[in-house]
Amino acid sequence: MRRLLLLLFSSSATLLVFGLWIPLKAAIAQELLELAWAESQARQTESRPWPWADTWPVARLAIPELNDSMIVLADTHGESLAFGPGRLAGGGRGGAVIIAGHRDTHFRGLKALEAGNEVRLQGRDGRWQEYRVEGIRVVDSRAELIDTQRLPDGTLLLVTCYPFDSVDAGGPLRYVVTASAKGKQWEKIDTVAGI
Amino acid sequence: MIISSSPLRLYTPATVSRRQRFRFKRLLEGVSLWLTVLLMLFVHPLYAEADEADHVGQLHFVDGQGVWQEPALVLDSDFDIKISGLIADSRLLRSFRNTSDQWREGVFVFPLPEKASVYGLTMKVGERTIEGEVQPKKQARRTYEKAREAGQHAANVEQQRPNLFTARVANIPPGETVSVELKYQQPVQYQAGVFELTLPTTLTPRYMPGTPVRSAPDQWQGGWAVPTTEVPDAGAISPFTVNPGDVSADSHRASISLVIDSGLPLESVSSPSHRLTTSQDGQTFRVRPDGGEILMDRDFVVRWRPVSGVEPSAAVFHQSWLGEDYLMAMLMPGEEGTMALPRDLIFVIDTSGSMAGESIRQARSALKAGLETLTPADRFNVIQFNSQTYSLFVQPEVATGNNLARARQYVDRLQADGGTEMAPALSLALNGPTETDDGARVRQVIFITDGAVGNEAALFQQIRQQLGNKRLFTVGIGSAPNRHFMREAARWGRGSYTAIQSPADVDGPLQALFSAMESPVLTDIRVNWPGQEAGIESFPRRPGDLFQGEPLMFVARGVTATGELKVSGRLPGGKDWSWTLDLQQAASATGLHRHWAREKIDTLEDEAKVTGREPDKAGITELAVNHGLMSAYTSFVAVESTPVRSVDTPMASDNLPTLLPAGSQAGMLRYPQTATSAPLLIALGLVGLMFSLALVLLQRRTFS
């Protein structure tokens, strides 16, 4: 009986440790990423947060509403989402930017965002681009793809899993926050005439 | 520490030696438990990495649980092509191997050459072969669906676009293979002394203009695109596109064998797309891609050149089929002196997302090569389009060094991104101010694109309406351009079509295009067949203008191989030109009647476009059924009579993906997996802890 109890107790504690390790890792990684971000801004190069990392910081995402800011990583392959939100697409001239993050860690706060809120994105050149949240959608990832060609220039998509309080890590629903660039018109500068 | 100390406090005192032994045992237990925990900590990151790497942020198929699935069907293709004269006859064997332990239906959207006439379908199950038959499209689909529900082996091939088809194969048993053999023929291209044959193996994902029409889930057709107001069949022509690594290692491979028996001594056989292994036997060449199978991620192109000096300037072929005579004639007008008129040259370049990667680099170099051909007498403009249309100058500007330098700079900065809204760009290029000060200026549009759009028909219509006295030339870019769009756009635009296969292949074809554009060689072409005009049906009815290096091709029914064919036309200077061809020289050939029927079907569809009426559906269906051809209104279906699957055994349907064309970038992204198992682990851990705590308290109470 006691042995059983001990086993139950220790395995539960192990699970708890694993469970807590994930947000802890996410928080610690962001601290390391801050350093790498500062370095990459200073040197204007890709600098990896730790020597064996397969990703590097590409932007800083700030959500003034939540008093929150985080470092965005290039791509979402491998384990990179565990350390920070990943930029799926964008980063070139104009075009749309798509950033995905874990619902349980970095992008937990997305549920508090509402249309009209401000989101800011800082590039490696240090310039901030302000976005205004246009709307929020829940999509079924089994039946829908992101058509990057159809997104208007200056769009920012923040993607995370839905529902927020679900314990199922493989659910098909996604929570998509659509924001569009404020202020600057996303016209192509080299154009004389356009229709 | 909590774990080891708290249970230790629980037990009741007994004899010392027993207590010590017990304590030792407990200690061992504690140590081993902690070791287990440590081990799991080590293993966890490895496990997590393996788990996440597979389905995060990549283009993948998902099942009902959102978990990545490799398609259960493995696709194998085998092209067997025989070229004799001007017709290439192909057998294409597609094998669907079911690697799962469930019955499957395979659905595969695939391209064929844009001028292909599909005339046969055979289904092969093990040793048995079942011949397919032509039926009106809807009826064929019903026949297939009935057989599928009844558990019979069945196959159905449908035409979606003249160069895009859907194959369905029902009831593929677990672990077995069902093959579908398609027979089709296509005319060989002959231009500037070089013969060319193209085999498309994949398609560039097409952009669907218009606003999406939300369809009911049961209408979901397995494509990524939803029907739009302008492309109602978007779902049927947009298979998922994946990287070669996403299908199993032996899937989406094609073996190709080509026999060229052109009846001419050949100088060389080459391919701009693949390396070839060639063997020669007299005048017959056997060609295979080097290294056996090729990956189906780009068009396979073969070119052969007759020995210099014996390039054919005319050819006649004859066939009698079911008591009727069919004749095919090819004429190559000599290269006459050209007359260079000052031009307004409008370059239109596609900078949509589908051009991203290698394509936009090729397009940029093609455009720059075009700028090089301008003389100070010419005027030019550069228009780029994606979701929007932009132009370099408001009006065409004179090609001064300064303007050209500006244009080169503009071209260098072009990036590919966004949608493919072609209509406004065409309007800008074709509608622009047409004031030609002296009337001696010709306006030519060079359209550089991959043609990855779903609304081809509407665009042809627009070209026809806006063309006026201008000419439109298309330049096809990329590993798998939409050749149907390229060819037809150029035909409606009274120009010609050029394809660029690879970065190394930019110069040759473009040189030919730019010299051809100087002026058309022959206009106002008329054909006179011998004998009474009444019984003869000849296509094309009104031959378009001919550019340098292009041959004239005719196919006629009701002409015997006697007498002379007279062709006349006008040369650039206004001089008359005529040619007679002795039809008694005709060599016998096969397949001419199918080529004729296909040309007639195309003509009927053209007439419908010009008059704005519905095509003559009954006429086309009858013609297609008589000649055993696939068309927009007829499909092939093959059904085995005996059911193989009992009706209560379930069958899953697999939509096979096509491969992303080499060098291009994926435009469609899957939503990534964006949740961790943290909440689940924390919840489970807490529940377990609370449960054991409750047990401890309970025990304590009973013991105390």
What's the rounded Cα separation, in Å, for the pair B456 and B162?
A: 11
Q: Which residue of A has its CA nearest to B419?
A: A149
Q: How far is B210 from chain A (nearest CA, A)?
A: 11
Amino acid at B145: E
What's the rounded Cα separation, in Å, for the pair B41 and B100?
A: 35
Among A92-101, A141-150, B169-178, B254-263, the least confident range: A141-150
* Residue carrying structure tokens 């290029």: B429
Q: How far is A118 from chain B (nearest CA, A)?
A: 22
* Residue carrying structure tokens 């002409």: B559
Contact B523, B339 (CB under 8 A): no
SS3 content of chain B, % helix, strand, coil (to 5): 30, 35, 35
Q: Which residues of A touch B353 (CB under 8 A)?
A: 148-149
Cα–Cα distances in angstroms (integers) from residue B432 to residues B393, B456, B471, B499, in the given order: 12, 22, 13, 26
Q: Which residues of B touch A76 (CB under 8 A)?
A: 56-57, 672
Superfamily of domain B359-517: von Willebrand factor, type A domain (3.40.50.410)
Q: What percent of chain B has pLDDT over 70?
A: 87
Specify which residues B195 forms β-bridges with.
B190, B304
Phi, psi of B90 (to 5 degrees): -125, 145
Q: Which residues of A touch B686 (CB under 8 A)?
A: 12, 16
**Which letter does DSSP use for residue A107 in this model?**
G
Token pair of B478, please?
């990329």
Q: How much is the pLDDT for A45?
A: 81
Contact B196, B189 (CB under 8 A): yes
Which of A15, A73, A155 to probe the B interface (max B CBs under 10 A)?
Answer: A15
Which of A9, A98, A186 to probe the B interface (max B CBs under 10 A)?
Answer: A9
Contact B336, B572 (CB under 8 A): yes
What's the rounded Cα separation, in Å, for the pair B335 and B550?
A: 10
Residue B63, pLDDT above cutoff 50: no
What's the rounded Cα separation, in Å, for the pair B625 and B134?
A: 6
Burial class (CB in 10 A: 0-12, 13-18, 19+), B104: buried
Specify which residues A99 forms β-bridges with.
A87, A158
Q: Whose CA is closest to B478, among B446, B498, B502?
A: B502
In this structure, the strands spanning B128-131 and B117-125 are: antiparallel
Interface contact flag, B669 A146, Cβ < 8 Å:
yes
- Kindly provide the b/e burial profile for residues B530-543, where b requires at least 16 CB atoms within 10 angstroms of the residue's own CB: beeeeebbbbbeeb
Tell me, yes or no, if B35 comes closer than 8 A to chain A by beta carbon: no
- Secondary structure, 3-state, B181-246: EEEEEEECEEECCEEEEEECCCCCCCECCCCECCCCHHHCCCECCCCECCCCCHHHHCECEECHHH
What's the number of CA atoms in the CB half-sphere (13 Å) around residue B599?
23
Average pLDDT over residues B162-185: 92
Compare B496 and B21 and report the one with higher pLDDT. B496
Phi, psi of B95 (to 5 degrees): -110, 130
Q: What residues contact residue B112 under an 8 Å CB cut-off, 6+ apart?
A: B92, B118, B163, B164, B165, B182, B184, B200
Amino acid at B16: V
* Residue carrying structure tokens 């298979």: B239
Kindly indicate the confidence band of residue A108, based on its pLDDT and cuts at 50, 70 and 90. Answer: confident
Tell me, yes or no, if B8 comes closer than 8 A to chain A by beta carbon: no
Q: How much is the pLDDT for B110?
A: 92
Residue B220, pLDDT above cutoff 50: no
Burial class (CB in 10 A: 0-12, 13-18, 19+), B311: middle
Interface contact flag, B668 A148, Cβ < 8 Å:
yes
Q: Whose CA is closest to A177, among A162, A161, A156?
A: A156
In chain B, what is the straight-line distance between the N-terminal and C-terminal CA atoms, in Å?
Answer: 24
Quote the distance between the C-alpha of residue A147 and its chain's center: 18
Cα–Cα distances in angstroms (integers) from residue B502 to residues B298, B367, B669, B692, in the given order: 10, 15, 26, 68
What's the rounded Cα separation, in Å, for the pair B201 and A34?
A: 47
Q: How much is the pLDDT for B436?
A: 53
Q: Which residues of B touch A157 (CB under 8 A)?
A: none
Kindly indicate the confidence band of residue A93, based on its pLDDT and cuts at 50, 70 and 90. Answer: low
Cα–Cα distances in angstroms (integers) from residue B512 to residues B61, B212, B331, B369, B508, in the given order: 44, 41, 19, 12, 6
ipTM of the complex: 0.82
Q: Which residues of A touch B354 (CB under 8 A)?
A: 149
Kindly indicate the confidence band of residue A74, based on its pLDDT and cuts at 50, 70 and 90. Answer: confident
Angle CA B303–B666–B673, to nearest 5: 150
Residue B65, pLDDT above cutoff 60: no
What's the rounded Cα separation, in Å, for the pair B327 and B586?
A: 8
Q: Which of B303-317, B591-605, B645-659: highest mean pLDDT?
A: B591-605
Amino acid at B492: W
Tell me, yes or no, if B391 comes closer than 8 A to chain A by beta carbon: yes
Cα–Cα distances in angstroms (integers) from residue B393 to residues B390, B407, B493, B585, in the given order: 9, 9, 23, 55
Asked if the bond preceding B424 is cis, omega within 30° of 0, the reply is: no
What sign has the CA pseudo-torsion B528, B529, B531, B535? Answer: negative
Q: Which residues of B touch A22 (CB under 8 A)?
A: 676-678, 681
Average pLDDT over residues B632-649: 92
Compare B695 and B134 and report the one with higher pLDDT. B134
Kindly indicate the confidence band of residue B40, based on its pLDDT and cuts at 50, 70 and 90. Answer: low
Neighbours of B356 (CB within 10 A): 21
Specify which residues A130 forms β-bridges with.
A120
Rg (CA), chain A: 19
Q: Which of B52-56, B396-400, B649-653, B696-700: highest mean pLDDT?
A: B396-400
Tell me, yes or no, if B618 comes closer than 8 A to chain A by beta carbon: no
Average pLDDT over residues A45-70: 85
Burial class (CB in 10 A: 0-12, 13-18, 19+), B248: middle
Helix (H, G, I), strand (E, B) or coil at B63: coil
Helix (H, G, I), strand (E, B) or coil at B82: strand
Q: How far is A55 from chain B (nearest CA, A)?
A: 13
Average pLDDT over residues B245-265: 85
- Cβ-Cβ contacts under 8 Å between A and B: the total is 234
Residue B188, pLDDT above cutoff 80: yes
Q: How much is the pLDDT for B326?
A: 92
Contact B669, B59 (CB under 8 A): yes
What's the rounded Cα separation, in Å, for the pair A170 and B51?
A: 11
Helix (H, G, I), strand (E, B) or coil at B81: strand
- For chain B positions 311-350, those within 8 Å of chain A (CB to CB) are none
**Domain coordinates of chain B in residue numbers?**
325-333+531-614, 359-517, 677-704
Quote the distance between the C-alpha of residue B224 and its chain's center: 15
Contact B275, B289 (CB under 8 A): yes
Q: What residues contact residue B681 under an 8 Å CB cut-off, 6+ apart?
A: A15, A16, A18, A19, A22
Of the partner residues B37, B677, B699, the one whose CB lies closest to the CB of residue A14: B37
Interface contact flag, A152 B387, Cβ < 8 Å:
yes
Average pLDDT over residues A114-135: 87
Length of chain B in terms of residues written: 704
Interface contact flag, A78 B10, Cβ < 8 Å:
no
* Residue carrying structure tokens 């009104």: B542
Kindly indicate the confidence band of residue B503, based on its pLDDT and cuts at 50, 70 and 90. Answer: confident
Kindly indicate the confidence band of residue B102, based on its pLDDT and cuts at 50, 70 and 90. Answer: confident
pLDDT digits (tens, 9 = 90+) for A127-144: 888 899 988 888 877 666
Length of chain A in terms of residues written: 195
Residue B337, pLDDT above cutoff 60: no
What sign has the CA pseudo-torsion B255, B260, B266, B272? Answer: negative
Neighbours of B338 (CB within 10 A): 17
What is the model's pTM?
A: 0.74
Q: Whose CA is closest to B682, among A8, A9, A102, A12?
A: A12
What's the number of CA atoms in the CB half-sphere (13 Å) around residue B41?
12
Quote the distance between the C-alpha of residue B689 and its chain's center: 58
- Domains of chain A, earliest start first: 2-181 (2.40.260.10)
Which of B359, B676, B680, B699 to probe the A interface (max A CBs under 10 A)?
Answer: B676
Of the partner residues A9, A16, A193, the one whose CB lies closest to the CB of residue B394: A193
What's the rounded Cα separation, in Å, for the pair B277 and B41?
A: 55
Of the partner residues A76, A88, A192, the one whose CB lies closest to the CB of residue B394: A192
- Indicate the average pLDDT of chain B: 83
Q: How much is the pLDDT for A195?
A: 36
**Which letter does DSSP use for residue B214 in this model?**
P
Q: What residues contact residue B5 under an 8 Å CB cut-off, 6+ apart?
A: none
Q: How far is B273 from chain A (nearest CA, A)?
A: 28
Q: Whose CA is closest to B420, among B458, B370, B393?
A: B458
Neighbours of B2 (CB within 10 A): 10
Which of A18, A28, A83 to probe the B interface (max B CBs under 10 A)?
Answer: A18
Q: How much is the pLDDT for A6?
A: 86
- For chain B positions 354-373, those within 8 Å of chain A (CB to CB) are 354
Token pair of B398, please?
């004179």
